[in-house]
């Protein structure tokens, strides 16, 4: 009945803008531990990790990008970038990406790039022996790495960040799908499910939101407002009388009345740029 509710999730929008240096420092704990980076304070001097500094700069670039590009331009840019770091273009140049070395003498950056390459190659073979250098970062931080085409990160680092983002999205989808099934079994509704999906969507960065249909949020909100009961086939939304399925049908426009409403399914597609890691 709702076997594919995960398709309502949002991977990448009403999201927040960039992170500043302080917030970046506060949210790179696990990734910093992977690289031996520090964000501690000692002797009155605050040491900000290299990754935190990079994330702050990436956030600033993302904020500027989001201000200057339209939604459709953001979507086009995202599609092009994802093809470069996880699509056909990436795999066509895999040997080049594997041999890419950051233009730096910083041992931390060199080590992280090497770890990212080792991780993506191990993960592509189904392995789990090498840790993702960006494990534990927030979705926004990961997005800022993935879509940063300034050359700050190697392609394999951005690919590793995408894998972490993908895993976080899949974990959320599994959780919300289970909650949706429980809600339906208990009440016959999916209203709370739609609310969860909309909240999730609004938290995503703008460049990820742009990859979804333009009416994605409004469609979810209409479902929330309708508060439809799929067992009684009645809309129970506030400020309206309960409507039967037939009454709902006749409220639709002439172009819509040739199709009967059905139980929830994949009525809104997720971005098609995602591929299995």
For residue range 154-210, what is the model confidence (pLDDT) as tens digits?
999 999 999 999 999 999 999 999 999 999 999 999 999 999 999 999 999 999 999
Within 13 Å of residue 220, how many CA atoms lie on the same side as its CB? 24
Q: Please say if the pLDDT value at position 137 is more than 70.
A: yes
Provide the angle, in degrees to the nearest 10, between the axes of the packed helices 216-226 and 191-203.
150
Using alpha carbons, list the distances in angstroms from residue 273 to 86, 156, 269, 277.
9, 17, 11, 12
CA–CA separation, 146 and 111 (whole Å) = 19
Within 13 Å of residue 127, how many CA atoms lie on the same side as its CB? 12
Consecutive H or E run containing 39 = none
CA–CA separation, 137 and 113 (whole Å) = 16
Question: Among candidates 69, 72, 33, which has minimal Cα distance to 51?
Answer: 33
String of DSSP letters for 224-268? HHHTEETTTTEE--TTS--EEHHHHHHHS-TTTTTS---SS---S
Of residues 234 and 13, more confidently modeled:
234
Residue ranges with strand state E in the chain: 41-42, 45-46, 228-229, 234-235, 243-244
Q: Please say if the pLDDT value at position 242 is more than 80.
A: no
State the virtual CA torsion across 19, 276, 209, 178 in degrees, nearest 10: -100
For residue range 53-110, what is the model confidence (pLDDT) as tens digits?
999 999 999 999 999 999 999 999 999 999 999 999 999 999 999 999 999 999 999 9
What is the structure's pLDDT at 31? 56
CA–CA separation, 248 and 235 (whole Å) = 8
Local structure of residue 4 (DSSP, 8 states): T
What is the structure's pLDDT at 247? 54
Q: Exposed, middle or buried by CB within 10 Å (0-12, 13-18, 19+), for 25?
A: buried
């Amino acid at each position: 009945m709702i076997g594919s509710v995960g398709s309502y999730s949002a991977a990448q929008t009403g999201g927040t803008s960039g992170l500043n240096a302080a917030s970046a420092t506060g949210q790179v704990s696990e990734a910093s531990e992977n690289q031996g980076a520090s964000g501690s304070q000692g002797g009155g001097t605050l040491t900000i990790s290299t990754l935190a500094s990079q994330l702050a700069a990436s956030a600033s670039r993302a904020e500027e990008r989001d201000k200057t590009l339209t939604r459709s331009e953001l979507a086009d840019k995202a599609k092009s970038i994802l093809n470069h770091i996880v699509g056909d273009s990436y795999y066509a140049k895999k040997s080049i990406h594997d041999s890419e070395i950051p233009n730096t003498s910083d041992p931390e950056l060199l080590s992280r790039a090497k770890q990212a390459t080792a991780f993506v190659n191990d993960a592509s073979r189904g392995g789990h022996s090498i840790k993702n250098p960006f494990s534990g970062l927030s979705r926004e931080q990961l997005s800022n790495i993935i879509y940063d085409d300034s050359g700050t990160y190697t392609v394999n680092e951005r690919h590793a960040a995408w894998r972490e983002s993908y895993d976080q999205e899949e974990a959320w989808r599994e959780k919300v799908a289970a909650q949706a099934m429980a809600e339906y079994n208990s009440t016959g509704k999916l209203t709370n499910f739609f609310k969860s999906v909309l909240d999730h969507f609004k938290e995503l960065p703008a460049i990820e939101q742009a990859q979804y249909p333009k009416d994605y949020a409004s469609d979810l909100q209409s479902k929330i407002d309708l508060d439809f009961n799929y067992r009684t086939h009645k809309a129970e939304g506030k400020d309206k009388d309960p409507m039967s399925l037939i009454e709902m049908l006749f409220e639709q426009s002439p172009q819509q009345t040739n199709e009967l409403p059905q139980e929830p399914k994949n009525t809104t597609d997720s971005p098609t740029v995602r591929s299995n890691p």
